[in-house]
Each structure stands twice: as structure tokens, then as C-alpha cells.
Chain A
Amino acid sequence: MNTMRALVFVTLLSPVFYGNLAAADLSWCSAPDPPITPLISPTKPSIAVRIVFIAFPETSPALPIWADSLAADMRAFMRAMTGDTSPNAPAMNVDLKIVKRPGADSVLAWVAPQPASYYYGSHDTGELNKAVMTMIGQTYEPNPTAGVDAVLTIAYKCTSVFTPPQGKGCDIDYGTTGLGITDPSGIPGWSAIPKARRLI
């Protein structure tokens, strides 16, 4: 068990963090980014990332038909941005895969046990993430997300309770946020130390 490996669990909710800021109070934008400890660098060029699509009972469970090409495009993009053929400075090598459901359900997203409003209202995205990761851990042995460096979720609806100064997350002007799993106990096969991150 690799208990020293930091596993980052982030949530991407919808394409709103690029929202038009023309009329918005921009004060939050000017805050410096929090310190970042990079997971990857020219001296550690390889990283394992998994993407999990999360649907809700009230949404279609279908995976986008572009789910696979999304991963392929991202891999190619990162390699192109960081490309290097010299032996001591390789390009960024991202082992990026979609965590799919087994069998015929592989064309479907993982479905959250509760409607999105449940998480957005009084619970939080971390609870959603934990529920889905538990589902994955109970489906696969070993857990396909165990030991990888980062797991990203793409939820079909907003579940964030992150509250920037001007209001709740998922607002078109204020972007989305991801909350990590703070208590991984009970997730089968989860061997890493989770780390909470907020991403804007």
C-alpha cells in the first residue's frame, strides 16, 4: 500500500468557470492562487490520471460519445505542449483513462445515489465523490483509481457548495469548485492519501 502517494481528487462541474466576467465584481479574481505542489515536472514527467463521469438520477446516464477522444486529445495536447525528444528531458507523459462501468454499461456514466440538489443543497461535493468512489471500489477489484496520482470527476449537474465571496459556486460568473474527499474510510481499494483541493 502506497500511503505516501498523494491522490488528488477534483471535481469539474460544468464549463462555467470561463464565464463572462464583464459585469461581475472581479475582486475574487485578483486573489493570488494558493501555493501549488506540482504533481508533475520535467524531473517527474509521468503521471496517472483517471476521469470519472457522474450522472444523476434525474439526468441521462449516457456517456458523451466523445468521452474516449477527450482523454486521447488531452494526452496528445499535453505531449505537444511539453514535447521533448532528449533522453533526459522527456515530454509530459499522462496516463489518462476514463473509469467506465463494466460490460454493457460501459457507455453509461456512474450514477450518483442522490439527485444533484441533494449535494448542492445541504451536503457537499465531497460526499458525492466518496459515494461514487465507493461504488467504483465495490465494482472493481482492485479499485481502478487506487494508486493513481489524480482523479477528476465531471459531474452532469452542479453539486458544489463552495461559496466564493459573491455567492455559491456554479454561478456563471464565479466558476466551479472541486472538493476532495476528506474521509476516505469505507472506499474499497482506496489506498492513497486524499488531498482536498479547490479549483477555479
Chain B
Amino acid sequence: MNLDVSGDHINSKLAQEAITTHELMHLFGYRHPAGSGNVNYGRYDLQSGSQGGFYQVVDMGLVPIHPFTLAHPVNEPGWAPLPIPIPRDTLDLHVPDFFGHQLRSDRKSYIVEITHTGIIQSFLLVNHQGATPYDNKYQGSGLLIWHLLDPFDPEHGFRDLELASGKSPNAVDGDDALELSTPQVPYWGSAQDFFDGTSASDFSYLTNPNTNLYNTNDPPIFYPDPQDVLSGFAVENIRRSNTNGDMIADVYVDKAQILESPDGGGSNPIQRGSTIVVHWRVRPLLGAATVDLDIAETANGEFRSLGSGLPNTGTFNWLVLQKGGSDYRLKLTTRASGGSPHVLGTDISDNPITIDDDRSCP
């Protein structure tokens, strides 16, 4: 294939812009994303180059450079911050437009490490880059969410972009070939299928695409191993801020539901004999059927049941009959439906709960 120099072939310009800039960025210290078999993101990272051969950017011209690539050049500080770790469930996480922030310190992407025996995989959560002219090629807007395999290892940095196409991943091999249609791999989705908070607002193990993990750590090559390892990681309730355009989401690192109140602390003890409404945040996509509530007198004490098999409505009226104490803990256990309900996750109140027992005896 030779350059088209006829002068009016727009694709030639787009191709040369992409290739020339890609090569120039190498000189500037940006390598190809490490590893092999990266899936789906050629159109989302100019430096993906030949390793994203399925997803050629040539016809797209210049497309943004992946935030992680920008943040992680060789031997030098990056042009963007590294993703911010999310070690625990985080509600109302604001994800600013990555390229819309001209101050590097204001650019943010987030990474969640998922621990699973024998499998080292993570997800990188990053907002779309809709503020640059280069994103207009996608005609989309919203969150991009990626499977990552050991992303800080330069030789095993597998990345698999998940989008809300509703058609991926393939149940057999986990492949989710966006923007691709070949005899071997049919078209399964679109590069415009962002998690936009309108048409796609949730990403969990119950959605499609889902948050399941690949079943090995082997860097897959285009046709990854099956994504059949259940993951409790989820990005739910994705929406867009009306005030500043941030994408907002609730990020969960496991399958627990969060006990919201009483959560201990504060200056208002619970009065023995009163009725307290226990609140927990219901996750509709968790597949939860029932919950158990238990209470322990001390942090290391034995939990005793306040109620089991309770409907997962988010509230429970607790008639406080426990004796006075200042170190109580509440525990919420979430169970899946089925013949033998299994525990999805537990959450224990973060701080000691005080129960006052100063009533006058009749």
C-alpha cells in the first residue's frame, strides 16, 4: 500500500495523521501498550497501533491516547496522573472528563483491583474524552470501562475495553469484538456504546457486557479465555452531573450491600426500647433476595440475629431490646436467591454503636 498523493483522498490524510503522530509519540517516550492481545481499544488509543490490529485507527485519523498510556511513559513522569485506586465501595464517585481538564492534576481516572485466588485482574474506570475534537469521531459520550491484567507490568498490560453494546462479551470465549465484522468474528458492538448514564447505566456481573474475570492470567491474544469467573465488582447507577458534566457512579468492589444507618459514631445514642429504622443501600443488579441482620455487643463479640431471611427492601424496623453498651456492631448479610441461598457479601457498621439503657423502671 502506497501513499495516495492525489491530494483529495481524505483517508490518506487521516491515516498519515494517525501513523505519523503514533510514531512521533514513540520518540516522545510512549510505547505500545504492553502485552499482546489487547482487545477492542484501537479506536480509543492512538498508541495501540499494530497490536490492536483488529481495531484500526487509520481511517479514524487522530484518536485520543489512552489515559493510562499518557500517565505511564518510559523513564519519565507522564503527561497525566496515574489512575486513582478505589480500595472499597465508593458511592457517588465523580469522574471528570479526562481531556476536558487542562490541568494535569485535575485529570482523573480510577482503578479497582479485584482480588481473586490465582487471578490478577483489575478494572480501570475512566471517563470518556469527549472534550477534545478527536472524540467526535466516536459520536459518543460517557464512561469507558476496561478489563486490565496486571496493568503496571509493562510486559503484561492486557487491556480489554468493555462497552455497553449489550452484545458482548461472547459467552464462549469472552471475546467482545467491537467495531469488527469478519467471517471469523461477527460484529458485536459499536465504539459509540459508552456507559452514558442514559442508555447504559450499569455494569455488573448480571449485565452484558459483564464484570466477570478471565479464567486465567495468560495474556490472551485476540480471542481471550472465557470470562467465566464471577466478579462482585460493579459500576452502578451511572449518571451525568447536571452541573459540571462529570460522570457519577457507584463503584462496588464486592457483592456486599452497604449498611448505611445506624453505622455508629455520632453523638446520639440509641435508646433501649425504641424502634430504629435500619437502612441499607439496595443494589438491584446484585441478584440479592434476602438479608440477615445481626448484632454483636462488642467488636469481637458473637453476632446474634435480629432477623434472617428479611426482604431486601433497604429498611428494617429494629425494636431495640439490647441492654446498654457502647461497642455494639450491626452486620448486614446479603443472600442470593435460589434453593440454598448463598452469601453474596457482608457489611459491618464502621463505628461502635451506643445503646442507652437509662429508662426508669416502672
The complex places the Cα of A74 from the Cα of B62 at a distance, in Å, of 8
A80 and B7 form a contact (CB under 8 A): no
Interface residue ranges, B against A (CB under 8 Å): 1-8, 10, 12-13, 15-21, 23-29, 31-32, 34-36, 42, 49-51, 53-54, 56-58, 61-62, 64-65, 70, 73-80, 99, 102-105, 132-134, 154-155, 182, 184-185, 219, 221-222
CB-CB nearest in chain B for A36: B74
Query: Is there a chain B Cβ closer than 8 Å to A172's Cβ?
Result: yes
B27 and A156 form a contact (CB under 8 A): no
- CB contact under 8 A between A69 and B2, given known A32-B155, A40-B28, A175-B50: no
CB pairs A–B below 8 angstroms (29 shown): A14-B2, A15-B16, A15-B19, A18-B18, A18-B19, A18-B49, A18-B50, A21-B53, A21-B222, A29-B51, A30-B36, A37-B75, A38-B27, A38-B28, A39-B27, A39-B29, A41-B28, A51-B20, A55-B5, A59-B5, A64-B7, A64-B13, A70-B16, A74-B24, A80-B133, A81-B65, A152-B24, A154-B16, A200-B50
The complex places the Cα of A83 from the Cα of B13 at a distance, in Å, of 24
Interface centre among A15, A21, A65, A199 (most CB of B within 10 A): A15
B1 and A16 form a contact (CB under 8 A): yes
Known contacts A38-B74, A73-B17, A155-B3; can you find 7 more A-B pairs with CB under 8 A? Answer: A15-B16, A15-B18, A18-B53, A32-B154, A33-B32, A62-B7, A74-B21
Least Cβ–Cβ distance between B92 and chain A, in angstroms: 27
Q: A22, A36, A77: which contacts B26 (Cβ < 8 A)?
A: A36
Query: Is there a chain B Cβ closer than 8 Å to A161's Cβ?
Result: no
Q: A35, A84, A85, A92: which contacts B28 (Cβ < 8 A)?
A: A92
Residues of B within 8 A of A10 (CB): 23, 27
Query: Is there a chain B Cβ closer than 8 Å to A186's Cβ?
Result: no
B20 and A12 form a contact (CB under 8 A): yes
A77 and B21 form a contact (CB under 8 A): yes
Interface centre among B16, B42, B221 (most CB of A within 10 A): B16
The complex places the Cα of A62 from the Cα of B24 at a distance, in Å, of 24
A15 and B104 form a contact (CB under 8 A): no
Least Cβ–Cβ distance between B281 and chain A, in angstroms: 37
The complex places the Cα of A45 from the Cα of B118 at a distance, in Å, of 42
The complex places the Cα of A159 from the Cα of B31 at a distance, in Å, of 24
Residues of A within 8 A of B53 (CB): 18-22, 24, 29
Residues of B within 8 A of A41 (CB): 28-29, 73, 76-77
The complex places the Cα of A194 from the Cα of B120 at a distance, in Å, of 43
Least Cβ–Cβ distance between A101 and chain B, in angstroms: 15
Residues of A within 8 A of B62 (CB): 73-74, 77
Q: A66, A92, A175: which contacts B79 (Cβ < 8 A)?
A: A92
The complex places the Cα of A106 from the Cα of B77 at a distance, in Å, of 39
Q: B1, B80, B103: which contacts A86 (Cβ < 8 A)?
A: B103
Q: B34, B42, B58, B103: which contacts A15 (Cβ < 8 A)?
A: B58
Query: Is there a chain B Cβ closer than 8 Å to A97's Cβ?
Result: no
Residues of B within 8 A of A74 (CB): 17, 20-21, 24, 62
Within 8 A of B (CB), among A23-62: 24, 26, 29-30, 32-33, 35-43, 47, 49, 51, 55, 59-60, 62
Enumerate the 4 nearest inter-chain pairs by beta-carbon distance, A residue then B residue, closest first: A38-B29, A21-B53, A15-B15, A41-B76
Q: A42, A85, A89, A152: which contacts B20 (Cβ < 8 A)?
A: A152
Interface residue ranges, A against B (CB under 8 Å): 8, 10, 12, 14-22, 24, 26, 29-30, 32-33, 35-43, 47, 49, 51, 55, 59-60, 62-66, 69-70, 73-74, 77-78, 80-86, 89, 91-92, 94, 109, 149-150, 152, 154-158, 172, 175, 178, 197, 199-200
Residues of A within 8 A of B34 (CB): 32-33
CB-CB nearest in chain A for B13: A66
The complex places the Cα of A39 from the Cα of B221 at a distance, in Å, of 31
B36 and A29 form a contact (CB under 8 A): yes
Least Cβ–Cβ distance between A57 and chain B, in angstroms: 14
CB-CB nearest in chain A for B8: A65
A33 and B24 form a contact (CB under 8 A): no
CB-CB nearest in chain B for A61: B5
The complex places the Cα of A64 from the Cα of B132 at a distance, in Å, of 26
Least Cβ–Cβ distance between B224 and chain A, in angstroms: 14
- CB contact under 8 A between A42 and B77, given known A17-B49, A74-B24, A150-B27: yes
B99 and A80 form a contact (CB under 8 A): yes
Least Cβ–Cβ distance between A59 and chain B, in angstroms: 7
B50 and A42 form a contact (CB under 8 A): no
Residues of A within 8 A of B51 (CB): 29
The complex places the Cα of A49 from the Cα of B62 at a distance, in Å, of 18
- CB contact under 8 A between A17 and B19, given known A26-B36, A42-B76: yes
Q: B10, B12, B32, B104: which contacts A84 (Cβ < 8 A)?
A: B104
B76 and A156 form a contact (CB under 8 A): no
A12 and B19 form a contact (CB under 8 A): yes
CB-CB nearest in chain B for A38: B29
B74 and A85 form a contact (CB under 8 A): no
The complex places the Cα of A73 from the Cα of B10 at a distance, in Å, of 14
The complex places the Cα of A197 from the Cα of B24 at a distance, in Å, of 12
Least Cβ–Cβ distance between B8 and chain A, in angstroms: 7
The complex places the Cα of A200 from the Cα of B16 at a distance, in Å, of 14
